[in-house]
Amino acid sequence: MQKTPLTRRSLGPRSAGFKPAEPKPAAGPKKKSCRVCRTAFTGSPLQVVCGVPCAIEYGQAITAKQKAKAKGAERAADRKKREELKTRSEWMKEAQAAFNAYVRERDRDLPCICCGRTNTRDYLTGSAWDAGHYRSTGSAPHLRFNEDNVHRQLVHCNRHGAGRAVDYRIGLIARIGLARVEALEADNVPRKYTIEDLKRIRDEYRARLKKLKEEA
């Protein structure tokens, strides 16, 4: 059998017109925006401002922010300390004030539960409206936060209307029904409010008042 001789190809010049790729120039430092004046600049990796004037302004801003944060933390600590020193009586007042404010806002479009009159004017010494209890906090303290037991009432009827309990009952029956009024009258189960209970009541009714005002 006849063998075919191997032919070696010569590694001659590449095809005409071919040019090798030129090396890319090295990329320079990446520019970034100054945090103060927003000017583009080139600097070290940790540098955030373009120059001395901006560095001074940036430093002052950081210092002011740190001082404000420290002051806020100090106020929060003072507030917490004051709350820890409050007595149960003080917590009761805050909880009752929050509850009463909610009741007045809840009934803002309703007439006085006792006399049926509507008076939108404020007295010279304050609001014309109270949150009046059907069964008073003195005789039925366990119902002080019962929403059926408390309704918006003219100051005159609440504070100077001795003997208006019958009128209140008539208005209450018309508003919530006889069954719920009789349930209030029959409820004599004592309730002991702890400081934690009063904190929760205060915060809950403050939040509910805020929501009512936002929806108004």
pLDDT 10s digits, 59-83: 999 999 999 999 888 888 888 878 8
d(CA 35, CA 57): 10
pLDDT in tens, 124-148: 445 789 999 999 999 999 999 999 9
Nearest-angstrom CA–CA distance, 95 and 72: 25
- Where exactly are the structural domains of the chain? 33-73, 102-215
| DSSP conformational letter for 131 | E
Report CA torsion sign: 173, 178, 179, 182. Answer: positive
pLDDT tens, residue by residue, 96-125 = 999 999 999 999 999 999 999 987 565 544
37-57: average pLDDT: 92
